[in-house]
Structure formats: C-alpha cells, structure tokens
Amino acid sequence: MSSRRSHLTYALSILAIGAALLLAGPVGALAEDSNDDSKQPNLKSWSNKIPAAKRFVVLADFNNQAVLDRETGLVWEKSPDATDAMWTDAALICVTKNVGGRKGWRLPSITELASLIDPTVAPAVPMLPVGHPFTNVQSSSAKGYWSATRNATISYLVWHVFFDNGAVGGNANTVTDYFWCVRGPMNADTY
C-alpha cells in the first residue's frame, strides 16, 4: 500500500509541476504587466513590428555597451568595431569578445543580421530603424557585415549584409568585411 501511495504522490507532483509550467507560459516570455524591458520578450515577437523607441533597449547591466532587440530577443553590441577582418578571424574575435563585462558573443546568422535593416530608411546612411541607439555602424558600398551563415552551394562563400543599401549577398571568406557581434541562442543556419 505504501508503494502505491508514493507512486500516486509522485504522479500528482508531476501533474502539479506540469500545470504550473503551462500556466507560466513560454520560457522567456514577459508578463503583460511587466515594466522590466531588460527581460527576454515574448517568443512570438518576430511577428511583431515594434517602433525603434520601444524595440531597442540599452542595457545598464552591460555598462550601456549592449542593446536588447525586443523584436528578436537578441542582444547586440551597441557600437560594433569599425575594423574589418576575414570571416574566420571575425568569428574568433566575437567568440573571445568581452562587451559590458559579458562573454558569449558570436557572429549573427544572416536572418538575424538582416532583421536590423529597415527598408524604409534612405540608402547611404545605415539602414537601421529611425531612432535606433547604435553607434559606429559602417555604411559602405565596398564592405558589408559578416554573418555566420555559409552559402549552401558554394562552401567558401559566406552571406553578408550591406548597411548602406540593405542588400544581402555572398562574399569569399578570404576577403575582409566588417563584423557585428550578437549574444543569444544560436540560429540553425550558421557555421
């Protein structure tokens, strides 16, 4: 009888935990009445268009050196390096980088990087949403920003984004491009 009671107690405990998790919502979701913009946004945020004034949050916990994108849930360097590097070097620089006293940086996937482009902004200036908090973003027709995404058909080509006109293209991994490190879960289409 004691064994049956402990199995029943265990089963009820599992059900209670499951119900609590179900009521809590998805991991990383913000409560609707939360005023803490530094928390991870709702996981469905990729379907929302958030104005720049509310979309980007400069993070005090990172010494104001990083920016949370509430639309994607990613944390970006506020001021990417103005230097360029070959793709493998750029990836290594991001992996070893310390921004705002935090490690865990990487090159973004092509979709993550392109999500920063605002096609309504005039070319020749960084095509970022009006009111963005970023500084030092290079707007060049000669160089783009590396992504971590390789071209699926030509192994030495890597996707990159030009912030002067919003174009997405491929470049040989042996040339130099700018790079902008990001922090967050790894997108499936990288490296």
Range of weakest confidence among 15-19, 175-179, 186-190: 15-19
What is the number of H-type helices and E-type strands within the chain?
4, 9
Distance from the Cα of residue 142 to its chain's centroid: 24
pLDDT of residue 102: 96
| 40 φ, ψ (degrees, to nearest 5) | -65, 135
pLDDT at 19 over 50: no
Higher pLDDT, 1 or 112: 112
What pLDDT score was predicted for residue 55? Answer: 95
Tell me the pLDDT of the chain averaged across its residues.
Answer: 80
Predicted structure pTM score: 0.75
Instruction: Tell me if residue 66 falls in helix, strand or coil.
Output: strand
Domains and CATH numbers, the chain: 45-183 (3.10.100)
For residue 74, what pLDDT is reported? 96
Residue 140: per-residue pLDDT? 85
Burial 89-115 (b: 16+ CB within 10 A, else e): ebbebbeebebbebeebbbbbbbbbbb
pLDDT tens readout for residues 158-184: 999 999 999 999 999 999 999 999 999
Percent of the chain having pLDDT more than 70?
73
Question: In this structure, are residues 154 and 171 in contact, taking their beta carbons and an 8 Å threshold?
Answer: no
For 21-63, the pLDDT digits (tens) are 333 333 333 333 334 444 544 444 677 788 888 999 999 999 9
